[in-house]
Amino acid sequence: MYAIVDIAGQQFKVEKDTKVFAHRLEGKEGSKVTFDKVLLLDDNGKVSIGAPTVSGATVSAKIVSHLKDGKVIVFKKKRRKGYQKQNGHRQSLTELLIEGISATGGAAKAEKKEAAPKAESAPKTEKKAEEVSENLVTRAEHRAEDAHVEVNVDALLHHIGTALKADKQELTKISGIGPVFEEKLNTIGIYTYEQISKLKATDKENLSNLSGITADKINDEDWVKQAKELMKDSDNK
């Protein structure tokens, strides 16, 4: 029986009663350690491959001693620069004695980890319910705002009155009103100069909401004044 186990960032193929030298581990000499990052397990021909680790498999070992590896010479040189440097390095190691390999030693830990998310499922459901309720309230507020706009439009039509299409006049003669905006005015029942001459501040704001033309632009171009002048011209004719 053997296993491929991750110890301090290194992978080792271990069997019972074998020794390995890994990077320095915490712990005193003679203490026991357990490794649960088993990547592969061969149990008498039955091979289990982890994804990424084998669930429940563990490797137990004993710290035999702490020591240092042989010296490694590190030499640096830059030619034609007069630079060279030499250092030595000895890696700190821990000698381990593998005492056993278990295929089910970590089963209890794995079950506890899986049980934790189930306990947290209830709060998530409550949170989703709160988000849904907030979305419904927001949609209701938007619908209320839309309804308020419709009431303003009805008030505008009631105040101005609805003219007959037979009395339709060329609204494009007023500076700032083009063919597209003239059609929009016609759709809400505005056909004559007289209707525009009777526009009030609230009516201009409602028109700006409907068409996208700001109330300031309507005031600057003074549609009411232009409409009254056009009415005088038509009366003189």
Residue-wise pLDDT for 149-202, tens only, equals: 444 555 554 454 444 455 678 878 888 787 877 787 777 778 887 887 887 777
Euclidean distance between CA atoms 178 and 23, whole angstroms: 82
Distance between CA 131 and CA 50 in Å, rounded?
A: 39
Crossing angle for the helix pair 201-211 and 179-187, to the nearest 10 degrees: 110
Residues 6+ apart with CB under 8 A from 100: 16, 59, 60
- pLDDT, tens digit, for every residue of 44-66? 888 999 989 999 999 999 999 99
Distances (CA, A) of 213 to 23, 178, 218, 221, 228: 74, 12, 8, 12, 21
For position 66, what pLDDT does the model report? 95
Place of tokens 């301090």: 8
Q: What is the mean pLDDT of the chain?
A: 78
Non-local CB neighbours of 47 within 8 Å, separated by 6+ positions: 40, 41
Q: How far apart are CA 131 and CA 79, in angstroms?
A: 68
pLDDT band at 20 (very low <50, low <70, confident <90, very high): very high
Lowest mean pLDDT among 32-41, 47-56, 180-189, 209-218: 209-218
pLDDT, one tens digit per residue, over 65-81 is: 999 999 999 999 999 99
If you search the block for the tokens 């440097």, which residue do you land on? 85
- Name 41's Cβ contacts closer than 8 Å, sequence gap at least 6: 1, 3, 4, 47, 48, 50, 54, 57, 101, 103
Helix (H), strand (E) at residue 76: strand 72-78
Closest CA to 13 of 26, 25, 24, 1: 1
Nearest to 96 by CA among 16, 4, 9: 16
